[in-house]
Amino acid sequence: MTASRASGLLLHPTSLPGPPGIGDLGPAALGFLQTLHGAGQSLWQVLPLGPTGYGDSPYQTLSAFAGNPLLIAPEVLKEEGLLTAKAVAAVSAGAPDRVDFGAVIAAKTALLQQAWKAFDGGAGSPELREDWAGFREREQAWLEDWTLFAALHDRHRKSWVDWPRELAGREEKALETARSELSREIKRHAFSQFLFFRQWDAVRARATELGIRVFGDLPLFVAHDSADVWAHPDLFDLDEQGHPLRLSGAPPDVFTDDGQLWGNPLYRWDALEKSDFAWWVDRVRAAFRLFDLVRIDHFRGFAACWASPAGETTARNGQWDPVPGAKLFEVLQRELGELAFVAEDLGEITPDVNELRDRFGFPGMRILLFGFGGDPNENTFALFNHERNSVVYTGTHDNETVCGWFRDGIYTSMNRPKKEAEEERARVLTCTGTDGSEIHWDFIRLAMLSVADTVVVPVQDVLGLGNEARMNFPGTQNENWVWRLAPDQWTDEHSRRLVDLARATGRTP
């Protein structure tokens, strides 16, 4: 994946500091790139950037191709003459250190409506108008479905499967009527996508200038309530009314007796294969339009997916459903060339998953939080068992922070005996050679010393924060995705310590 050793930070754009509301792609994003550069880091990892729906999860987006309008920076729109300073200053959408998605959605929607009204009325430069025309022509393949879906979603305010039958079933006459009645709303949604990609392109360009690669995330599944499933129902395992016949998830394990029931519809891989995986080729091409590197979330699902019958309340009664992942990756390589993928090979990993990953040379993931339990000789996460072609994390967005885990989670996770937890904690202190008073820096140092080519550290771990700063609690609905980096929370000392470690371990650009 890399020609040399590298390291970087994990921070989703919603967590960037700035005005109250939500992090965005304006000055805060450009400033964070400068922070990365100053700290000797050459990777910025983000979560999926698509438009979020119920639950605000970036892994349950309304489109696999569209961008999230909530990330559009009002400050940039003001500079382009699309918003007044008064309109931007009047926005109040919550505290500066948390995302209040309800308030943000209302505030950002109102601002984007104002920006579209101004542009439609003649505001904006000739260059902006020229770029707008080019964007619509260039992105038409997915933009037409997305904008109609978004406009209908606004009108009906429910999942597409509960729309009037003629719209849910995409009867052409009904779609033509909707396009006519919702033409202004459709253009407004298209304009929001134009603004998102315009701002993201500026962020990417600045990252390239600074020698920073953007590391993105590609979920295996898409949400049932998405433009993708509505527009391509033949590619998903649905009944005649559009409801999923089987649901994705994960089997019972040491973390949960019931397994995980995610609710995403499964693919009809036979139909995808008949089209030479055309939809997947388009999707991956779109991902590499956004990112330099792409992490494939739930990589094991390209060998086999855990499928539970619709109507189940747990994942206990599911079964493994084979997936033609090798055929898919062969087509992707043929159509797109070398694939800069990282395999999220966590969970119940069987030999066929490792064989698929290694066949295509994709780096896997090693989570240092998992590296101190069990038999050290069999623990692939232990530092001395790392492989060069892998990416080491102190933890991910789904894990506790290092400090939260060391203080509390090591005792409470998996309901294990206290003696076992204390033995693991003692092993941590032996391996770090410290008293644990700066356990987050101990873990960062170990990660940087790994033989693995690439290291990624969540910003929360650099700051030494506890589980109050955790990004996601899998299997729960409350208080996920809301953490933000507070203004001035990152200091020059954090940058100095990171750059010193990067230099000492051969990870500077």
Secondary element (H or E) of residue 367: strand 364-367
User: What domains lie within the chain, and their CATH numbers?
Assistant: 6-118+210-504 (3.20.20.80)
Average pLDDT over the chain, rounded to an integer: 95
| pLDDT at residue 383 tops 80 | yes
Question: Looking at residue 431, what is its pLDDT?
Answer: 96
Least confident stretch, 17-21, 119-123, 427-431: 17-21
Angle at 206 between CA 87 and CA 99, to 5 degrees: 45
Taking the complete model, does pTM exceed 0.75, yes or no?
Answer: yes
User: What was the pLDDT predicted at 295?
Assistant: 98
Mean pLDDT calculated for residue range 81-110: 90
pLDDT at 92: 73
Closest by alpha carbon to 495, among 106, 25, 32?
32
In the chain, pLDDT over 70 holds for what percent of residues? 99
Can you give the pLDDT at residue 175? 98
Contact 96, 483 (CB under 8 A): no
pLDDT tens digits, 391-401? 999 999 999 99
pLDDT, position 93 = 75
- Cα distance between residue 356 and residue 178, in whole Å: 44
Residue 378 has pLDDT above 90, yes or no: yes
Determine the Cα–Cα distance for residues 213 and 8; give it in Å rounded to an integer. Answer: 9
Residue 371 has pLDDT above 50, yes or no: yes
**Mean pLDDT, rounded, for 266-282:** 98
Q: How far apart are CA 127 and CA 191, in angstroms?
A: 15
Over residues 194-217, the pLDDT tens digits come to 999 999 999 999 999 999 999 999
Q: Which residues are catalytic?
A: 297, 344, 398
Q: Would you say 395 and 470 are in contact if contact means Cβ atoms under 8 Å apart? A: no
Non-local CB neighbours of 495 within 8 Å, separated by 6+ positions: 35, 38, 39
- On the 0-12 / 13-18 / 19+ scale of CB atoms within 10 A, 466 is middle
pLDDT number for residue 474: 85
At residue 32, φ and ψ (nearest 5 deg) are -65, -35
Question: What are 425's two structure tokens?
Answer: 């904690």
| Closest CA relative to residue 356, chosen from 220, 495, 181, 217 | 220
Query: What is the structure's pLDDT at 3?
Result: 54
pLDDT value of position 464 = 98
User: Tens digits of per-residue pLDDT, 114-158?
Assistant: 999 999 999 999 999 999 999 999 999 999 999 999 999 999 999
Q: 141 with 148: CB under 8 angstroms?
A: no
**Residue 60: its pLDDT value, please?**
94
CA distance 100 to 108: 12
312: CB partners within 8 A, 6+ apart: 247, 261, 318
pLDDT at 2: 47
DSSP label at 317?
A: T
Q: Is 317 exposed, middle or buried (0-12, 13-18, 19+ CB in 10 A)?
A: exposed
Query: What are φ and ψ of residue 201, in 5° steps?
Result: -60, -35
Res. 382: pLDDT tops 80? yes
Q: Using one digit for the tens of pLDDT, what is the confidence trace for 443-487?
A: 999 999 999 999 999 999 999 999 999 999 987 877 899 999 999
* Of the candidate ranges 98-102, 158-162, 222-226, 346-350, the one whose mean pLDDT is the lowest: 346-350
Determine the pLDDT at residue 401: 98
Q: Which DSSP state fits 407?
A: I
> pLDDT of 35-52, one tens digit each?
999 999 999 999 999 999
Mean pLDDT for the stretch of residues 162-173? 98
For 486: left if phi > 0, alpha if psi spans -120 to 50, otherwise beta; the answer is: beta
The enclosing H or E element of 498 equals helix 492-504
Question: Tens of pLDDT along 305-340?
Answer: 999 999 999 999 999 999 999 999 999 999 999 999
Whose tokens are 């990777």? That residue is 43
- The mean pLDDT value for 13-19 works out to 94
Residue 300 has pLDDT above 80, yes or no: yes
